[in-house]
């Protein structure tokens, strides 16, 4: 869940200096395939140079890690290169330069056959407009990746059925995509991407084609699935509230570059520039700030004070604080007391946050 | 006062040139009628080349032809061997699986008609060729389509080739094939494969390209290899579109098989229509024509239904099971027919032959209504066709109109034109003024007597203004070629007949289209009629008109109108019905009356679609024009027909190429007008 689980993490997928350049001669800007520029060359200047020679820089020196069991969210304005980067990770788009390490192996070094094997067993992807096969019904759509592997009809349908039950589509197996609502179609997309039991799960704006109510419902569903399945996830969205709900960590992109990486609350509290701040501006603080973020360790504990877990949002806390002037003790996941939060502390945090979020004390 | 733009000055200059050349050419006579001694005849060279080719490769083609004949023979033997009841059942089952009970009943009715009217054997002979040629055309078309999809370079070669194959008139195909393969069923087969494969190529490319990137990516991320990506993702996702191509291919194949029977010697249904028509046995001809129409409708509905049917009701396993069932029942019907002879061979005494009665009825009708019919025909001829063709100056004589054009009358005509044009100019309608003058002068001089240099210049100017320098050069080269090889008089005649037909179609068709767009009743009445007309092989449309008006240009004109009006209606209605609703609403709120709404909002917005309709009208008109050579029109069509009759490759082929040149120029001009309007209006209009 967001903001919890501080245990040191094993890296699942790691991308290093990924560049994607569109144009007539994308290769001529790179002396080697690793994407590392010669000493002294600033990536940002290099990207600008490429643009100046009439090429499109869809990804510029992108590096980040995705940990096992983590939901890593990529955000950015339209055209900032999110889809390009996530497609580079699975080589649906061939990066111009860089490295993609899956469990330490560079995916860009392997040949087509090995890549197909990787896709068949390790990756799943959910698309914005679902990308369902119009000629297959729900059951066969979900079984499709298994069919490609040559698994026989009975077995693959049995396995597809399990996943259909998991995403709550039982009863619609014989329907065709065109007969389903948007939300149902995306459940099929999700089920299909899970059919091969992938370790890596890519989702490219999976819910943005859905209306707000269904979107919320699908997010809950998604989080429920993740609690059950514990995949390593790269999730793209341009809705900050969505990122907030689901992200363990997130990256913000602009013009193909990663501007900032961190926990959502870090981005809110310490945005590196106005671009990032723009995203976080409209966030309702009381929903984002948790008791842990504003607990005051210096404050005196008093007898009879209640205690509360660190990830409780301020919004949930407010009614309680209205009745308990002294405040409440905040406890972290391991049961250690972190400090005290009282109404005054909350008001200070909210007020300063609105004016100058960077100065809210931790 | 309106300002006259520079391009309008060009047109006026052309007008002055036309008048000068017409009235006192002086030394410029060569620009009025192209001197025969300047003609560079290419027909002989083409014949020599063809003869050389036949000498060199003839045996190869003969061998191929011999090979191709076998499957056709086999199909004909099988269809002749199967009891009619079994064939009938199979078609009913196909119809049922494709669409449902109603189509199955239609299939039953159609098959009963074929058997009952006594044309079963002929129908099956034609069907056999179609059944062999369609899979071949699909295989060729699909192969080329896939190739063209993957290779941009291949596409650059394939696309113009398709344009050419689809604009060369059907008759012209037959000639080289006839020369290469010699008489026999092969001619029909090869011609129909060549004629029918282009739609499959186009729709294959279109369908494969339209598969969304996400679906492809979904296939890739699921671990599809190259082969799986094509056969399990791309192809199935594009299947509906490809099947629509198959539908068009089937229709084209049938239509060509029918046309090919003109070379004779085949005992098929097309030959039946033609030979009876030549013997003026119109009753028989109509009955046989009806067989073709039914066959066309049946094949169209079945293939179309397979292309568009709902996926939900058609899973593969179910289909497989039903096929077993169909075969089982077909077997049972066959066994039954061994016992009941009437099911094997349609009994003689049950053959229903209304032809003699129809012939007498028709004779009576023509006899009783002779005066009216003659009056219609003559007035149309004298008041519409003759003036444009020969020009008022020669057409208006005591012999035809009861009076002659005296200098005074001519002067009055000219003065009236100038006054109308001047009035238009004053009312700030420069374009209209210029148009009035141009049309007036064309009527006066006559299209076929118009100096060739002026017509050529006019087309070049039009091409330049609508599509730019490249088309202008193409037009100049194409029409110039026709002038130089001495085909200009025939070309002018063809342009004339087709032009008049297209003009009438356009006026009438847009009118009906507008009406249909505003009235659901009209639309529901018109729709099936034009659908039927469109699926009808060209031949069949001729029959009723020949019956009543005998042979001649008027009959040809009516046939052209009947066929070419279809796209004019369809596109106008479609264009008007698919306008952005918000624009209509805002115009209505602004207080536009229905008439204002139509003329100031809807029609301008629907113009791109209407122009595409005009484009198709012209193409339809030209393809019908060739067929009308059968009923005695002059012009390029007749030359093709003569070439075919004499086996004269040069004559037939040059005329065929001439037709193709005219068709392509007309196509490009109208396309680019439509495209420009679309861009200007920010709309997108597709071909229907
Ligand atoms: N095949 C291509 N050829 C040229 N440019 C491309 C191609 N694909 C993407 N681009 C460009 O790369 C940039 C990044 O595109 P991308 O689709 O990754 O953006 P995105 O962040 O996913 O945007 P959105 O939120 O709209 O999906 C854009 O400027 C786009 O125009
Ligand atoms: Mg995107």
Q: In what order do the strands lie in the sheet with A97-102?
A: A56-67, A11-22, A97-102, A105-106
Are residues A208 and A89 part of one domain?
yes
> End-to-end CA distance of chain B, in Å?
42
What is the position in ligand 1's atom list of the atom closest to the CA of A256? 14
* Model confidence, pTM: 0.82
Check A135 against B237: CB less than 8 A apart: yes
Bridge partners for A21 per DSSP = A57
Q: Quick: pLDDT tens for B475-512.
A: 999 999 999 998 888 898 888 888 889 999 999 999 99
Q: Is residue A72, in this structure, part of any structural domain at all?
A: yes
Q: By alpha-carbon position, which residue is closest to atom 31 of ligand 1?
A: A79
pLDDT over threshold 80, residue B404: no
What residue in A sits closest to B224 (Cα-Cα)?
Answer: A148
Report the Cα B603 to chain-centroid distance in Å: 26
pLDDT at B337 (0 to 100): 85
The CA distance from B379 to B465, in Å, is 36
pLDDT at B262 (0 to 100): 82
Are residues A336 and A303 part of one domain?
yes
Q: Do B86 and B326 touch, CB atoms closer than 8 A?
A: no
| A89 band by pLDDT with thresholds 50, 70 and 90 | very high
The CA distance from B556 to A160, in Å, is 63
If phi over 0 gives left and psi between -120 and 50 gives alpha, with beta otherwise, what is residue B351? beta
Please report residues of B whose CB lies closer than 8 A to that of A148. 219, 222-225, 228, 232
pLDDT at A71 (0 to 100): 95
The CA distance from B331 to B325, in Å, is 10
What is the DSSP-derived secondary structure letter of residue A62?
A: E
Q: Is residue A226, in this structure, part of any structural domain at all?
A: yes
Question: Average pLDDT of B512-516?
Answer: 94
Q: Is residue A172, in this structure, part of any structural domain at all?
A: no
Q: Is A80 a pocket residue for ligand 1 (Cβ < 6 Å)?
A: yes
The CA distance from B381 to A27, in Å, is 71
Question: Average pLDDT of B54-80?
Answer: 90
pLDDT at A357 (0 to 100): 41
Residue whose token pair is 């299209």: B447
Give the list of residues 6+ apart from residue B333 with CB closer than 8 angstroms, or none: B83, B85, B86, B89, B343
| B629 band by pLDDT with thresholds 50, 70 and 90 | confident
Are residues A79 and A228 part of one domain?
yes
Residue whose token pair is 């490809």: B242
Tell me phi and psi for residue A236, to 5 degrees: -105, 140
Please report residues of A whose CB lies closer than 8 A to that of B237. 133-135
Mutate to test the pocket of ligand 1, among A56, A204, A243 (most ligand atoms within 8 A of CB): A56
Tell me phi and psi for residue A50, to 5 degrees: -60, -45
Residue from B210, B213, B221, B318 to probe the interface with A (highest A Cβ count within 10 Å):
B221
Are residues A275 and A202 part of one domain?
yes
Tell me phi and psi for residue A58, to 5 degrees: -90, -25
Question: By residue range, what is the domain housing residue A354?
Answer: 285-360
Among B81-90, B313-322, B624-633, the least confident range: B313-322
| B347 band by pLDDT with thresholds 50, 70 and 90 | confident
Are residues A294 and A270 part of one domain?
no
Question: Average pLDDT of A182-209?
Answer: 92
pLDDT over threshold 80, residue B321: no
Q: Quick: pLDDT tens for A215-258.
A: 888 899 999 999 999 999 999 998 888 998 899 999 999 999 99
Are residues A266 and A247 part of one domain?
yes
Question: Average pLDDT of B314-341?
Answer: 79
CA of residue B676 to ligand 1 center, whole Å: 29
Question: Average pLDDT of B100-115?
Answer: 93
pLDDT at A352 (0 to 100): 63
Q: Do A219 and A186 touch, CB atoms closer than 8 A?
A: no
Residues for chain A: how many in total? Answer: 362
Q: Quick: pLDDT tens for B187-217.
A: 889 999 999 999 999 999 999 999 999 999 9
Q: Is residue A141, in this structure, part of any structural domain at all?
A: no
Q: Quick: pLDDT tens for B410-459.
A: 888 888 888 888 888 887 777 888 888 888 888 888 877 888 899 999 99
Q: Which of A280, A310, A339 is the last residue of a domain?
A: A280
CA-angle at B142, arms to B137 and B147, nearest 5°: 130
Bridge partners for A66 per DSSP = A13
Give the list of residues 6+ apart from residue B346 with CB closer than 8 angstroms, or none: B84, B115, B116, B118, B120
Residue from B215, B217, B222 to probe the interface with A (highest A Cβ count within 10 Å):
B222
Q: By alpha-carbon position, which residue is closest to atom 29 of ligand 1?
A: A79
Among A201-210, B174-183, B204-213, B511-520, the least confident range: B174-183
Question: Average pLDDT of B157-171?
Answer: 84
Are residues A302 and A259 part of one domain?
no
Please report residues of A whose CB lies closer than 8 A to that of B312. 137, 174-176, 179
Residue A316 belongs to a domain with what CATH number? Answer: 3.90.1280.20
**How confident is the prediction for chain B on average, in pLDDT?**
86
Q: Is A272 helix (H, G, I), strand (E, B) or coil?
A: coil
- SS in 3 state form for B78-137? HHHHCCHHHHHHHHHHHHHHHCCHHHHHHHHHHHHHHHHCCCHHHHHHHHHHHHHHHHHH
Residue whose token pair is 């392997």: A110
Token code pair at residue A23: 């144009």
Highest mean pLDDT among B15-29, B346-360, B417-431, B467-481 belongs to B467-481
Q: Is A356 a pocket residue for ligand 1 (Cβ < 6 Å)?
A: no
Question: Average pLDDT of B145-157?
Answer: 94
Q: Is residue A98, in this structure, part of any structural domain at all?
A: no
Q: Which comes out higher in pLDDT, residue B285 or A249? A: A249
Q: What percent of chain A has pLDDT over 90?
A: 52
Question: Average pLDDT of B635-652?
Answer: 86
pLDDT at B233 (0 to 100): 94
Q: Do B165 and B140 touch, CB atoms closer than 8 A?
A: no
pLDDT at B199 (0 to 100): 93
Q: Which of A231, A263, A280 is the last residue of a domain?
A: A280
Q: Which of A280, A302, A325 is the last residue of a domain?
A: A280
User: B237 and chain A: CB distance < 8 Å anywhere?
Assistant: yes
Token code pair at residue A95: 């990066």
Q: Quick: pLDDT tens for B216-232.
A: 999 999 999 999 999 99
The packing angle between helices B430-445 and B407-426, to 10°, is 160
pLDDT over threshold 50, residue B637: yes
**Hey, what long-range contacts does A270-279 have (CB within 8 A, 24 or more apart)?**
A270/A357, A270/A358, A271/A357, A271/A358, A276/A252, A277/A357, A279/A75, A279/A240, A279/A252
Are residues A343 and A242 part of one domain?
no
User: B227 and chain A: CB distance < 8 Å anywhere?
Assistant: no
Q: By alpha-carbon position, which residue is closest to atom 8 of ligand 1?
A: A84
Q: Is residue A251, in this structure, part of any structural domain at all?
A: yes
Identify the burial level of B129 via C-beta atoms within 10 angstroms of its C-beta, where 0-12 means exposed, 13-18 middle and 19 or more buried.
buried
pLDDT over threshold 70, residue A7: no
Q: Is residue A270, in this structure, part of any structural domain at all?
A: yes
Are residues A206 and A118 part of one domain?
yes
Report the Cα B189 to chain-centroid distance in Å: 20
Which domains are seen in chain B, by residue range? 478-680 (1.10.3720.10)
Check A196 against B222: CB less than 8 A apart: yes
The CA distance from B204 to B227, in Å, is 17
Q: Is A149 helix (H, G, I), strand (E, B) or coil?
A: coil
Among A223-227, B232-236, B578-582, the least confident range: B578-582
Give the list of residues 6+ apart from residue B124 with CB closer than 8 angstroms, or none: B76, B79, B80, B87
Are residues A110 and A238 part of one domain?
yes
pLDDT over threshold 60, residue B3: yes
Residue A208 belongs to a domain with what CATH number? Answer: 3.40.50.300
pLDDT over threshold 50, residue A355: no
Q: Is residue A180, in this structure, part of any structural domain at all?
A: no
The CA distance from A28 to A21, in Å, is 10
Check B220 against A145: CB less than 8 A apart: no
Are residues A237 and A111 part of one domain?
yes
A328-331 vs A307-309, strand pairing mode: parallel
Bridge partners for A234 per DSSP = A72, A202
Q: Is A20 a pocket residue for ligand 1 (Cβ < 6 Å)?
A: no
- SS in 3 state form for B127-189? HHHHHHHHHHHHHHHHHHHHHHHHCHHHHHHHHHHHHHHHHCCHHHHHHHHHHHHCCCHHHHH
Q: What percent of chain B has pLDDT over 70?
A: 96
Q: Quick: pLDDT tens for A66-85.
A: 999 999 999 999 999 999 99
Q: Quick: pLDDT tens for A101-157.
A: 999 899 999 999 999 999 999 999 999 988 998 888 999 999 999 999 999 999 999
Are residues A265 and A245 part of one domain?
yes
Q: Do B574 and B323 touch, CB atoms closer than 8 A?
A: no
Per the structure, the count of domains in chain A is: 2
The CA distance from A338 to B90, in Å, is 82
Q: What are the C-alpha distances in Å from B216 to residues A116, A144, B212, B228?
A: 14, 13, 7, 11
Q: Is A182 a pocket residue for ligand 1 (Cβ < 6 Å)?
A: no
């Amino acid at each position: 869940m967001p903001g919890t689980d501080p245990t040191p993490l094993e890296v699942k997928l790691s991308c290093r200096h990924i560049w994607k350049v569109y144009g007539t001669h994308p290769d001529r800007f790179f002396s080697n395939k690793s994407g590392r520029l010669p000493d002294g060359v600033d990536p940002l200047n290099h990207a600008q140079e490429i643009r100046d020679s009439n090429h499109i820089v869809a990804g510029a020196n992108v590096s980040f890690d995705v940990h096992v069991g983590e939901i890593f969210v990529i955000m950015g304005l339209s055209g900032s290169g999110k889809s390009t980067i996530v497609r580079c990770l699975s080589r649906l788009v061939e990066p111009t330069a860089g490295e993609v390490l899956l469990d330490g192996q560079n995916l860009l070094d392997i040949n087509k056959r090995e890549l197909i094997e990787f896709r068949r067993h390790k990756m799943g992807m959910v698309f914005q407009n679902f990308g369902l096969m119009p000629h297959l019904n729900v059951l066969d759509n979900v079984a499709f990746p298994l069919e490609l592997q040559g698994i026989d009809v009975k077995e693959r349908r049995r396995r597809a059925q399990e996943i259909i039950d998991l995403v709550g589509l039982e009863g619609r197996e014989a329907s065709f995509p065109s007969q389903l609502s948007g939300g149902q179609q995306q459940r099929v997309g999700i089920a299909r991407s899970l059919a091969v039991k992938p370790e890596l799960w890519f989702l490219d704006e999976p819910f943005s084609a859905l209306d707000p109510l269904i979107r919320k419902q699908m997010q809950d569903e998604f989080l429920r699935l993740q609690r059950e399945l514990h995949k390593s996830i790269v999730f793209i969205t341009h809705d900050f509230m969505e990122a907030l709900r689901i992200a363990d960590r997130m990256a913000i992109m602009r013009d193909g570059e990663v501007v900032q990486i961190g926990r959502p609350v870090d981005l809110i509290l310490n945005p590196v520039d106005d671009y990032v701040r723009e995203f976080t501006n409209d966030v309702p603080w009381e929903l984002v700030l948790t008791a842990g973020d504003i607990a005051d360790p210096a404050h005196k504990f008093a007898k009879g004070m209640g205690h509360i877990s660190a990830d409780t949002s301020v919004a949930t806390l407010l009614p309680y604080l209205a009745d308990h002037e002294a405040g409440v003790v905040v406890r972290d996941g391991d049961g250690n007391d972190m400090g005290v939060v009282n109404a005054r502390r909350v008001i200070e945090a909210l007020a300063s946050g609105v004016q100058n979020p960077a100065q809210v004390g931790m | 006062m309106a300002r006259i733009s520079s391009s309008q000055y060009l047109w006026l200059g052309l007008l002055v040139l036309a008048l000068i050349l017409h009235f006192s050419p002086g030394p410029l006579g060569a620009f009025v009628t192209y001197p025969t001694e300047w003609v560079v005849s290419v027909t002989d060279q083409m014949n020599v080349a063809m003869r050389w080719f036949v000498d060199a490769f003839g045996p190869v083609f003969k061998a191929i032809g011999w090979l191709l004949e076998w499957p056709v023979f086999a199909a004909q033997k099988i269809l002749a061997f199967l009891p009619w009841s079994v064939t009938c059942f199979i078609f009913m089952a196909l119809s049922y699986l494709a669409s449902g009970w109603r189509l199955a009943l239609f299939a039953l009715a159609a098959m009963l008609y074929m058997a009952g009217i006594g044309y079963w054997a002929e129908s099956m002979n034609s069907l056999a060729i179609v059944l062999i040629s369609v899979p071949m055309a699909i295989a060729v078309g699909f192969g080329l389509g896939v190739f063209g999809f993957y290779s941009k370079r291949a596409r650059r070669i394939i696309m113009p080739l398709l344009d050419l194959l689809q604009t060369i008139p059907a008759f012209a195909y037959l000639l080289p094939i006839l020369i290469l393969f010699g008489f026999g069923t092969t001619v029909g087969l090869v011609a129909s494969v060549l004629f029918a494969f282009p739609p499959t190529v186009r729709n294959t490319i279109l369908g494969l390209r339209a598969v969304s990137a996400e679906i492809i990516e979904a296939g890739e991320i699921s671990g599809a290899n190259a082969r799986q990506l094509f056969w399990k993702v791309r192809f199935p996702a594009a299947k509906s579109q490809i099947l629509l191509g198959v539908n068009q291919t089937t229709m084209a194949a049938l239509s060509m098989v029918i046309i090919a029977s003109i070379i004779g010697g085949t005992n098929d249904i097309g030959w039946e229509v033609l030979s009876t028509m030549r013997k003026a046995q119109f009753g028989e001809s109509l009955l046989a024509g009806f067989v073709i129409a039914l066959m066309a409708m049946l094949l169209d509905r079945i293939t179309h239904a397979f292309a568009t049917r709902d996926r939900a009701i058609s899973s593969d396993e179910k289909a497989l099971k039903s096929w077993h069932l169909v075969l089982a029942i077909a077997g049972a019907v066959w066994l039954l027919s061994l016992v009941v002879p009437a099911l094997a061979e349609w009994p003689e005494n049950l053959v229903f032959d209304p032809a003699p009665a129809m012939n007498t009825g028709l004779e009576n009708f023509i006899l009783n209504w002779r005066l009216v019919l003659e009056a219609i025909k003559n007035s149309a001829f004298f008041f519409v066709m003759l003036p444009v063709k020969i020009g008022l100056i020669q057409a208006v004589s005591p012999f035809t109109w009861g009076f002659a054009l005296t200098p005074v009358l001519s002067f009055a005509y000219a003065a009236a034109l100038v006054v109308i044009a001047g009035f238009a100019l004053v009312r700030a309608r420069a374009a209209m003024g210029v148009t009035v003058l141009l049309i007036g002068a064309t009527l006066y001089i006559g299209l076929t007597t118009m100096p060739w240099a002026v017509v050529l210049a006019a087309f070049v100017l039009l091409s330049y203004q609508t599509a730019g320098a490249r088309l202008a050069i193409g037009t100049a080269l194409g029409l110039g070629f026709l002038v130089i090889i001495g085909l200009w008089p025939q070309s002018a005649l063809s342009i004339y007949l087709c032009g008049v037909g297209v003009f009438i179609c356009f006026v009438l068709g847009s009118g009906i289209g507008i009406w249909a767009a505003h009235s659901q009743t009209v639309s529901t009445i018109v729709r099936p009629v034009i659908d039927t007309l469109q699926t009808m092989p060209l031949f069949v449309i001729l029959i009723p008109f020949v019956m009543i008006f005998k042979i001649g240009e008027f009959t040809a004109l009516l046939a052209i109108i009947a066929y070419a009006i279809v796209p004019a209606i369809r596109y106008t209605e479609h264009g008007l019905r698919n306008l952005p609703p918000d624009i209509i609403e805002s115009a209505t709120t602004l207080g536009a009356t229905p008439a204002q709404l139509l003329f100031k909002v809807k029609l301008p917005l629907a113009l791109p679609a209407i122009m595409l309709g005009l484009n198709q009208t012209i193409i339809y008109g030209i393809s019908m024009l060739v067929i009308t050579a059968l009923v005695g029109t002059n012009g390029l069509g007749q030359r093709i027909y003569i070439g075919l009759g004499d086996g004269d490759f040069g004559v037939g082929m040059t005329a065929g190429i001439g037709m193709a040149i005219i068709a392509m120029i007309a196509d490009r001009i109208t396309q680019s007008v439509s495209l420009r309007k679309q861009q200007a209006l920010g709309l997108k209009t597709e071909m229907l």
